[in-house]
Every structure is written in structure tokens, then in C-alpha cells.
């Protein structure tokens, strides 16, 4: 299969390239180029269209987005251009070529008033980032026949070079020698390992069961519990103190509205016996073992 991957330079793109690169012919693009990644700004509709049509893929994967909530809150026009209008372009391109589209959505589209959200709960986005992502999701659903919308939870993967999310932020503090961490206890969610996500997408798109799917790791948790498990896996539980705090502790730094709960239940995948996502603790250990454990060897922090 020929697959065009737009927005391939990030942490999720890294997992998709590793998953699909061996068995398929890929064209990977991004505004950040690198080994195996060509330049394309998918916000430029004409250039996006030209590249995809020249490649003649069997499938279009639209992965890229702004994911920094504070940036999105400060820059709503760029956010809608990148996270919503580019998706409209992807839909129009896919429809014109009669090929299916994969779009990545997020647990952040919910308002957090429930404890857990399944695939059929009604989104109610709270911030510019979430609203733009949900508008992208809606445009796909309302204008396409062959599509997969896969909603991720708290993403982890990519290592120090590509990870821009929670795990990388905690690891960076520990590498700086921090012996005390302040972690919120009032934000609940479901970690999502990029490699499990890419693997489940691979299994799903083979079925032709088009639609919207929650796709997060098994097991619901909190930011605080994730940080505790990360510190334990790094062997630092006797050296690092984790202080429980409320979200107000970080209100100056993280001021974009966030739902109290982003916990996803993969109900539709489970009903179709297609859920291959593992428990988040297993995935976190695998991630830490591959990318971070060696950085915290005894010799590294004596």
C-alpha cells in the first residue's frame, strides 16, 4: 500500500514510520524535514494537493497539529489554520482521489464533567486547541464516506528528541537534578503509547470498519500517578519527592482551560474485538526502558 503521511516529523509520526515503513511505500512530509521526511506545509492547500496527487497514495494519514495548548490559546488563527482548515484540505484531497483518510483527534475535545468518555459521548471542547481539533473531526465525519478518526489520550513516545509532552517534561526536570516534583492530582486521563497507537491503527484500517474510535491505553489514571510510576521505573523513588498539588499551582504557566478528566474508554474497538492497546504501565515501562533508563544509570546521577 502507498501511504502519504502528513505531519510525520513528530512523536506520533516517528511511531507510524516505524510501524508502516517496512511493509508499505511511504511519502512522509512535514515543515520540519529530516531523514526520510520531505518538506510540505499542509496549511498550503495547493502544495498539499500537488504532493499527494503526484504520489498517488492508497491512503492519506493526516497526523500533524499544534498541540501546545498555551500557544493555541494565544494564537487562535494559526491554530484554526493548522488544526482545522488543513483537515478540510485533507478531506477535499482524499475525496477527490477517492482514498480513505486517517485523522488524529484527542481526548481533549471533552469537557471533563464525566469521569470516563466512550466513543459515543458528546464532545464539548473548552479551549482553542480542543475546539479546532473537534472542528477537524466534525468536518471529516460530515464530509467523508471512508475515514478513520482515532482519538488519542495523553501521548507518550519519541524519546528526548521528539517527545514534547508530560513524560519528557518530568524526565527533563530529573535530568536537571530536581529532587522535588510538584504534580497535579486533579487531572485525570489515559496515557497513549505512540507505538501501541500506530499498531492499533494498522489493525483497524485493515478491516474497513470506518468511523470514529477512542484509542488510548488500558487503565485510567492521573498525572500524579503517572509521575509516581515514572520515578519508580527510573529507580529514583527513594531520591525524589513528589508533592501533590492542585492545578491552580500552575495557573500562570498552564492557563489554557483543560478538562478535569480526559479518560477514554475504547468501547467501540472492544466491541469489534479490535482493541490491541496494552495497559499504560506496561507501555510506560517499555518506553522508559528504551529511551530513558540508561540516562539514569547509577553512574549518571552519583
Report pLDDT digits (tens) over 168-195. 999 999 999 999 999 999 999 999 999 9
**pTM for this model (two decimals):** 0.95
H helices present in the chain, as ranges: 11-20, 45-55, 69-74, 76-80, 86-97, 128-143, 159-162, 166-175, 194-205, 223-233, 267-271, 280-291, 298-301
Contact 201, 215 (CB under 8 A): yes
Which parts of the chain sit beneath pLDDT 50?
299, 301-302
Helices 86-97 and 45-55 cross at an angle (nearest 10°) of 30
pLDDT for 112 equals 96
Rounded distance between C-alpha atoms, residue 248 and residue 257, angstroms: 11
Q: Which CATH class is domain 2-159+191-220+263-277?
A: alpha beta
Rounded distance between C-alpha atoms, residue 215 and residue 197, angstroms: 7
- For the chain, give every domain's residue range: 2-159+191-220+263-277
Backbone dihedral angles phi then psi of residue 243, each to the nearest 5 degrees? -95, 125
pLDDT for 302 equals 38
pLDDT for 220 equals 85
Amino acid at each position: 500500500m502507498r501511504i502519504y503521511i502528513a505531519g510525520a516529523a513528530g512523536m506520533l509520526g516517528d511511531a507510524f514510520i516505524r510501524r508502516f515503513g517496512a511493509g508499505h511505500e511511504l511519502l512522509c512530509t512535514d515543515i520540519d524535514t529530516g531523514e526520510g521526511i520531505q518538506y510540505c506545509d499542509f496549511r498550503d492547500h495547493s502544495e498539499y494537493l500537488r504532493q499527494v496527487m503526484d504520489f498517488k497514495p492508497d491512503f492519506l494519514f493526516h497526523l500533524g497539529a499544534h498541540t501546545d495548548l498555551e500557544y493555541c490559546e494565544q494564537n487562535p488563527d494559526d491554530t484554526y489554520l493548522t488544526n482545522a482548515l488543513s483537515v478540510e484540505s485533507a478531506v477535499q484531497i482524499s475525496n477527490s482521489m477517492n482514498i480513505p483518510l486517517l485523522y488524529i483527534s484527542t481526548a481533549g475535545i471533552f469537557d471533563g464533567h464525566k469521569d470516563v468518555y466512550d466513543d459515543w459521548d458528546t464532545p464539548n471542547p473548552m479551549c482553542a486547541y480542543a475546539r479546532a481539533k473537534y472542528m477537524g473531526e466534525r468536518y471529516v465525519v460530515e464530509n467523508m464516506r471512508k475515514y478513520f478518526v482515532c482519538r488519542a489520550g495523553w501521548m507518550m513516545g519519541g524519546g528526548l528528541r521528539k517527545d514534547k509532552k508530560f513524560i519528557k517534561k518530568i524526565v527533563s526536570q530529573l535530568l536537571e537534578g530536581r529532587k522535588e516534583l510538584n504534580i497535579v492530582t486533579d487531572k485525570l486521563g489515559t496515557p497513549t503509547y505512540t507505538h501501541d497507537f500506530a499498531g492499533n491503527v494498522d489493525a483497524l484500517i485493515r478491516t474497513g470498519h470506518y468511523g470514529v474510535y477512542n484509542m488510548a491505553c488500558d487503565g485510567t489514571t492521573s498525572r500524579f500517578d503517572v509521575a509516581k510510576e515514572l520515578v519508580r521505573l527510573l529507580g529514583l523513588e527513594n531520591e525524589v519527592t513528589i508533592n501533590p498539588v492542585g492545578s491552580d499551582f500552575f495557573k500562570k504557566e498552564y492557563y489554557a482551560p483543560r478538562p478535569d478528566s480526559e479518560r477514554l474508554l475504547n468501547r467501540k474497538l472492544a466491541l469489534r474485538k479490535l482493541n490491541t492497546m496494552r495497559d499504560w504501565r506496561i507501555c510506560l515501562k517499555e518506553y522508559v526502558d528504551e529511551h530513558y533508563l540508561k540516562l539514569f544509570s547509577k553512574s549518571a546521577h552519583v
